Amino acid sequence: MSDEEKATPPEGGEEPQKSEKPTPSEAAKPDASAQKPAPPRAAPVDKPATPKAPPAKKPSITFNITADPFIDRIKEIFGGAITEAVETLGQQILRVAKDRYVEMCRFLHDDGDAQFDMCTDLTATHWPERAGQEFEVVLFLYSVPNNRRIRIKVSLADGDECPTVSHIWIGANWMEREVFDMFGVKFSGHPDLRRILLPEDWPGHPLRKEYPIEYRDNEWTDKHIEYREIDYDTSLIDVKYGERK
């Protein structure tokens, strides 16, 4: 995957960005209203279909990092494993191959120049239409001594296990658990990979794009809520949850 492609999430419509922006409110209104009823329930492919991002290059936002000795050094050490080194809005992003991900994290943590001693955040994004690279684990690192941030990305196929970094930064422990909970990305070597926010037996992983937004899991609720028969005339009440038998 090249640098340019990285910033263009999914293939979509060819609507140019420039023409949309200065359009007055009349153009905006129908757009907003067209979007609003769009997120209906149980429409798994709804969201990924909508993006109208131009696949064209956006050099104003994404460009290769030039003249940064540290990044150059990393490129030198990890060579082909670094598939991308871009700076967007003043924030540096490196994409690394999965097999050298942990090695690179260890390097960033230990190296005297880097000293990325804090894992600010760890999250993931889901790109269903990128075949073979559906998930992207994003690691936000911060170096307290150097006051510098860097973002590391790893692309994973659906079902791939991502190596854990929770032994390098203990703080990544819960963040990886949350990614597992929300995306179903497994972290190999994680000491305690359980769901963190949702119940253990919850079906599905909510932040995947195919997971619908308006969704009520009646089966799960049935399993966990104790029903008690109450004598009342059900014809008078609009029973929504009671259809069990």
Partner 1 sequence: MREQGVDITPGTLFDAEEMVINMGPQHPSTHGVLRVILKLDGETVKDLDCDIGYLHRGVEKIAEHDTYAMITPYWDRLDYVAAVSNDLCYVGGVEKLLGIEVPRRAEYLRVALTELQRIASHLLWLGTHAIDIGAVTVLLYAFREREEILKIFEDFIGARLTAHAFRIGGLWWDAYPEFEKRVRDFLKILPGRIDEYETLLNANRIWLSRTVGIGVLPADEAINLSLTGPVLRGSGVKYDLRRAQPYSVYPEFDFEIPIGENGDTYDRYLVRMAEIRQSIIIIEQALDGLPEGPVMAKVPKVIKPPVGEVYFGIEAPKGEIGVYLVSDGTTKPYRMRIRPPAFINLQSLRRLSIGHLVADVVALIGTIDIVLGEVDR
Where do contacts with partner 1 occur on this chain (CB under 8 A)?
A: 7-10, 12, 17, 20-25, 27-28, 31-32, 35, 39, 47, 50-54, 58, 60-62, 88-89, 91, 93, 117-121, 123, 125-126, 138, 140, 144, 147, 149, 151, 169-175, 178, 182, 196-199, 206-207, 211, 213
Q: Which is nearer to partner 1, 77 or 149 (CB)?
A: 149
Kindly tell me which of 27 and 157 has the beta carbon lying closer to partner 1: 27
Residue 148 beta carbon to partner 1: minimum distance, rounded to whole angstroms: 9
CA distances (Å), origin 152, targets 39, 83, 156: 31, 11, 13
Token pair of 146, please? 């150097």
Separation CA 82–CA 63 (nearest Å):
15
> Beta strand pairing status for 161-163 and 186-188?
parallel
Minimum distance, C-beta of residue 202 to partner 1, in the bound complex (Å): 10
Which residue number, 99 or 215, has a Cβ lying nearer to partner 1?
215
Query: At its nearest, how many Å lie between partner 1 and the CB of residue 122?
Result: 9
Side by side, the strands of the sheet bearing 135-143 are 62-64, 82-88, 91-96, 148-156, 135-143, 118-126
Instruction: Find the shortest distance in angstroms from Cβ 99 to partner 1.
Output: 24
Give the residues across from 62 on adjacent strands: 88
In this structure, are residues 109 and 26 in contact, taking their beta carbons and an 8 Å threshold?
no
